[in-house]
Amino acid sequence: MARKADEPLVLGIETSCDETGVGIVRGHTLLADAVASSVDEHARFGGVVPEVASRAHLEAMVPTIQRALKEAGVTARDLDGIAVTAGPGLAGALLVGVSAAKAFAYALGKPLYGVNHLASHICVDQLEHGALPEPTMALLVSGGHSSLLLAPDITADVRPLGSTIDDAAGEAFDKVARVLDLGFPGGPVIDRWAREGDPDAIKFPRGLTGPRDPVYDFSFSGLKTAVARWIEARRAAGEEVPVADVAASFQEAVVDVLTRKAVRACKDHGVDHLMIGGGVAANTRLRAMAERRCEDAGITLRVPRPKLCTDNGAMVAALGAEMVARGRNASAWDLSADSSLPVTDPHVPGHDHAHGHDHDHVHELSRKNLYDAG
């Protein structure tokens, strides 16, 4: 059956951290979202170990791709393109995904799109709520990022307004959970404990909220330290630590700052939509406070379902499909991973000679060079 030109079928590969994600989308429709997580292998270390993550990606890549194709009910030959996270992320982990995507695209003769991890977190909302408004204001919060971004065009124009100057929100959750002996990852377990606690029990600091502080930047290192010192003081005095109250009060401090700055950014830039993404967007208190504050400010809130907030291949496929639909240039075959790829680069286009219809020609040259080298 013929497909609409604006509904390309794209497979996306995500390996920026500890999740091997493979997603398949047709336009804005999610067909498959296969994920293989190595989180249990990192738990005993209290954080992600890059070498362990890279090895896990190698082992999971082929079966995860096969599972996604089966779930979507399509064959690899049906695809219109292959998208992959080119950065930012862990260098070794990214290289596994990029190498796999290049091999897959090369073997199939399909265009390759190296895309930005953060832009993908924004674009995934199209699978939940339809086309993104332009511009879109996005608050991205995860273990590695806390960013406020303005995206007039998710495929070509993403502007950073603010970011974390130290610990990201998700990183702070992990560190506080470790101090409370709650295990890893910290986000989900603190969220659960916080539901039983009093968010006003302890007045923890709100970083960078003073009149002279950067308006849109974030800082959670001081908050993390304040929580650790509060706990240490209780333990030194031989007093029991009220885990639920600590979790609730800490969580309240984080989501208060995140939502306050995001709503202000929307007002300052005249944007009436706020999209929240990243792993911390699965936090129930963040969702509730953002909903209330956006409603009070007349702002429409868009938050994908929790499974689409954490790292996944569907978000990469979503951005790749948008690249194809808008006729963006494919990446060159010398695409490489960039652990510090700036969010201002939603994707990594090819060289001039590899653009547009010349991509097939480059594919043939690459094949010939490979044979000559062999």
16 is an annotated ligand-binding site residue: no
Alpha-carbon distance values, 325 to 6, 101, 320 (Å): 5, 19, 9
18 is an annotated ligand-binding site residue: no
174 is an annotated ligand-binding site residue: yes
141 is an annotated ligand-binding site residue: yes
125 is an annotated ligand-binding site residue: no
191 is an annotated ligand-binding site residue: yes
121 is an annotated ligand-binding site residue: yes
Q: Distance between the two ends of the chain, CA-based, in angstroms?
A: 40
Question: At 367, is the secondary structure helix, strand, or coil?
Answer: helix
What is the rounded CA–CA span in Å between residue 17 and residue 356?
Answer: 31
181 is an annotated ligand-binding site residue: no
256 is an annotated ligand-binding site residue: no
Contacts 24+ apart (CB under 8 A), 36-41: 36/60, 36/63, 36/64, 39/184, 39/185
What is the rounded CA–CA span in Å between residue 281 and residue 308?
Answer: 10
Question: At 301, is the secondary structure helix, strand, or coil?
Answer: strand
Residue 195 CB coordination number (10 Å): 12
99 is an annotated ligand-binding site residue: no
What residues are designated binding site for Fe cation? 117, 121, 311
What residues are designated binding site for substrate? 140-144, 174, 187, 191, 283
What residues are designated binding site? 117, 121, 140-144, 174, 187, 191, 283, 311
